[in-house]
Chain A
Amino acid sequence: GQQLNQSPQSMFIQEGEDVSMNCTSSSIFNTWLWYKQDPGEGPVLLIALYKAGELTSNGRLTAQFGITRKDSFLNISASIPSDVGIYFCAGQLYGGATNKLIFGTGTLLAVQP
Chain B
Amino acid sequence: DVKVTQSSRYLVKRTGEKVFLECVQDMDHENMFWYRQDPGLGLRLIYFSYDVKMKEKGDIPEGYSVSREKKERFSLILESASTNQTSMYLCASSLAGGSYNSPLHFGNGTRLTVT
The answer to whether A42 and B48 have CB atoms under 8 Å apart is no
> Is chain B's binding surface mostly helix, strand, loop or mixed?
loop
**Is A45 touching B103 in the complex (CB atoms < 8 A)?**
yes
Residues of A within 8 A of B60 (CB): 1
Question: How near does chain A come to B75, taking the closest CB pair, in angstroms?
Answer: 17
> Which residue from A35, A40, A95, A96 sits with its C-beta under 8 Å from B108?
A40
Interface size on B, residues (CB 8 A): 31
- Give the distance in Å from the alpha carbon of A42 to the alpha carbon of B43 in the complex: 11
The answer to whether B4 touches A104 (Cβ under 8 A) is no
Whether, in the assembled complex, A103 has its beta carbon less than 8 Å from a beta carbon of chain B, the answer is: yes
With a CB–CB cut-off of 8 A, which chain A residues contact B50? 97-98
Secondary structure at the A interface, as helix, strand, loop or mixed, is loop
Give A contacts to B, CB under 8 Å: 1-4, 6, 9, 31, 33, 35, 40-45, 48, 50, 88, 94-101, 103-106
Interface residue ranges, B against A (CB under 8 Å): 4, 31, 35, 40-45, 48, 50-51, 56, 58-60, 90, 92, 94, 96-100, 102-104, 106-109
Question: Can you give 30 contacting A-B residue pairs, CB < 8 Å?
Answer: A1-B45, A1-B58, A3-B41, A3-B42, A6-B42, A40-B108, A41-B109, A42-B4, A42-B106, A42-B108, A43-B43, A43-B90, A43-B104, A43-B106, A45-B103, A48-B103, A88-B42, A94-B98, A95-B98, A96-B97, A97-B96, A98-B94, A99-B98, A99-B99, A100-B58, A101-B104, A103-B42, A105-B40, A105-B42, A106-B42
